[in-house]
Amino acid sequence: MTGVPARPRGYRQQPSLWWWMHKRSYTLFILRELSSVFVAWFVLFLLLLVYAVAGGAERYQSFLDSAANPVVIGLNAVALAFVCLHVVTWFNLTPQAMPVRVRGRRVPSAVIVGSEYLALAIVSAFVAWLVVG
């Protein structure tokens, strides 16, 4: 056979820029990945708190006032929702990514996920006890 084929042999569809809108599971995936932005926002918020507390009672009060601004409260509510999405997806995927063995036997997924939630409950209770007193 000689000559160059008139057209490319296969038709390749260009992936759409909106591929993550095409399927519910893809959209959930992108939302899960975007939770990282709100994790970063939390770090910023925490550092602002540390800065305010270190700066004295007055600056701490003004931090509390600005945290009570409806826009900030709204942002933090959205951030908390995304962080919860992160927690649920992260814990659910752990047994798949990291099989745990005890004495040669594979630990059931439910036990791994359950102990992660238990750890979350313990850490949360301890943090709340420290902060609220």
Partner 1 sequence: MAESITLEVTRYQHDVDDEPWTQEYDIPLRENWVVLDGLNHIKDRLDGTLSYRWSCRMGICGSCGMMVNGEPQLTCAAFLFDYAPGPIRVEPLANFPVVRDLIVDIGDFMEKLPRVSPWIVREEEQPTSEGEYLQTPAELDEYKQYSMCINCMLCYSACPVYGIDPDFVGPAAIALAQRYNLDSRDEGAAERLETLIHPDGLWACTYVGECTTACPKDVDPAGAIQRYKLSAAIETAKSYLLPGRES
Partner 2 sequence: MPKRQVEPFAWLAFSAGGVMAALFVPMLLFLFGLAFPLGWISAPSHPELLDLLSHPVSRIVLLGVCVLALLHFAHRFRYTLHDGLQLKAMTGVIGAACYGCAVLGSVAAAYLLVIYL
Considering only CA atoms, which of 44, 48, 129, 42 is closest in space to residue 87? 42
Q: Is 37 in the site for partner 1 (CB under 8 A)?
A: no
CB-nearer residue toward partner 1: 83 or 100: 100
**Binding footprint of partner 2, residue count (CB under 8 A):** 52
Longest CA span, the chain: 85
Contact assessment for residue 30 and residue 20, using Cβ atoms and an 8 Å cutoff: yes
Q: ∠67-74-68 over CA atoms, to 5°?
A: 20
Which residues contact partner 2 (rule: CB under 8 A)? 15, 17, 20, 30, 33-37, 39-40, 42-47, 49-51, 53-54, 56-57, 60-61, 64, 67-68, 72-73, 76-77, 79-80, 83-84, 86-87, 90-91, 116, 119-120, 123-124, 127-128, 130-133
